[in-house]
Amino acid sequence: MNLLITGAWTGAKDHIGEIEALGHTVRFMQQEKDPLPCEPDWAEGAVCNGLFLYHRMEEFKNLRFIQLTSAGFDRVDMDYVNAQGIEIHNARGVYSIPMAEFAVSGVLELYKQARFFLENQQARRWEKHRGLLELFGRTVTIVGCGSVGTECAKRFKAFGCRVTGVDIAPRRDDAYDAMLPIEKLDEALPASDVLVLTVPLTKATERLIDARRLKLMKDAAVVVNISRGKVIDETALAEKLRTRRLMGAVLDVFETEPIPASSPLWDLPNAILSPHNSFVGDGNGERLQRIILNSIRRKAL
């Protein structure tokens, strides 16, 4: 197979010889927005992330295999992929552990008033806070029970939380105390102390958490979004946080990235913002390498 590999796979160059030994011919390009190192119709396969945001997929006439370095499929025209019968794989499971740890740490940062203590440390001020909360016994609702959601569920359960999953294909899973179909999301929201969003962005999930659904939640609830920014109505969320009709939010993704300096979210003391960084972990490289090489090896059989 003629295989185009991009620098989205950080360790790619260390494995090109191994891949070529399997019988594949490799062309490498570091930056996906750069000119292609080959004619588009040369490539029969691609290992990439946002390659097709910069180069029209329709020009890759012989493309039959894609291995993404991302967990999401939102940077690829899936309608075209399916229509053309192109085999596509994502990096399922690669980023789930750091994202789950990030979700738990964000909630704990709010519950344990980390900002208060940091500000006091910087001011060299000795002051106790009597309003710290416990995760134990809380109800956590996870919307999207794939790899990321399930890793979140395991960790919240370890803190003694009751974990409810909400998914388009509910199943029996020991990581959850219960799992509901997406149609019952409205029933789960009023009982939720923590809402964790891990769903992929699709037409069905865009603005899934809108102003109406935010109104169903407790004033003391925390929202965690580690999926995609457009899954939640950002304007409605900011208003709920501003008026303290939500205790807080942990937001790693936004409708526009980078988030504009004019966004009201920047100034909200009960919002924790990070620059789409929750996926980062020191075990990612090894997990991604294993997935990509196994995927490529199967194509050599």
301: pLDDT strictly greater than 90 = no
Alpha-carbon torsion, ordered 39, 40, 46, 49, to 10 deg: 110
pLDDT surpassing 90 at residue 72: no
Residues recognised as catalytic: 228, 257, 276
Cα separation, 254 vs 229, whole angstroms? 4
Q: Is 60 exceeded by the pLDDT of residue 85?
A: yes
Whole-number average pLDDT of the chain:
97
The string of pLDDT tens digits covering residues 130-158 is: 999 999 999 999 999 999 999 999 999 99
2-92+282-300 and 96-273 in the same fold? yes
Residues 90-111 have a mean pLDDT of: 97
Share of the chain above pLDDT 90, in %: 97
Helix, strand, coil: what percent of the chain each, to 5? 35, 20, 45
Task: Give the sign of the dihedral formed by CA 213, CA 217, CA 223, CA 227.
Answer: negative
Q: How far apart are CA 121 and CA 86, in angstroms?
A: 55
Cα 257–chain centre separation? 14
Strands (E), 30-174: 45-48, 65-68, 87-89, 139-143, 162-167
Spans of all domains in the chain: 2-92+282-300, 96-273
The DSSP output letter for 242 is: H
**Is residue 299 over pLDDT 90?**
no
What's the pLDDT at 47? 98
Contact present, 2 and 42 (Cβ < 8 Å): yes
Rounded Cα–Cα distance for residues 133 and 260 (Å)? 32
With b for 16 or more beta-carbon neighbours within 10 A and e for fewer, the 229-247 pattern comes to bbbbbbebbbebbeeeebb
Question: 60 pLDDT exceeds 90?
Answer: yes
Tell me what pLDDT residue 45 has.
Answer: 97
pLDDT tens, 102-125? 999 999 999 999 999 999 999 999
Write down the pTM of the prediction: 0.91
> What's the pLDDT score for residue 300?
66
Q: Which residues contact 206 (CB under 8 A, 6 or more apart)?
A: 230, 231
Q: Please state the rounded mean pLDDT for residues 224-248.
A: 97
Q: Does the 2-92+282-300 domain belong in CATH 3.40.50.1370?
A: no
Rounded average pLDDT over 152-179: 98
State the DSSP string of 83-139.
HHT-EEE--TTTSHHHHHHHHHHHHHHHHTTHHHHHHHHHTT-----S-----TT-E
Whether the pLDDT of residue 235 is over 90: the answer is yes
Q: How many residues make up the chain in this entry?
A: 301
Rounded-to-integer distance, Cα 44 and Cα 66, Å: 9
In the CATH scheme, what is the homologous superfamily, with its name and number, of domain 96-273?
Answer: NAD(P)-binding Rossmann-like Domain (3.40.50.720)
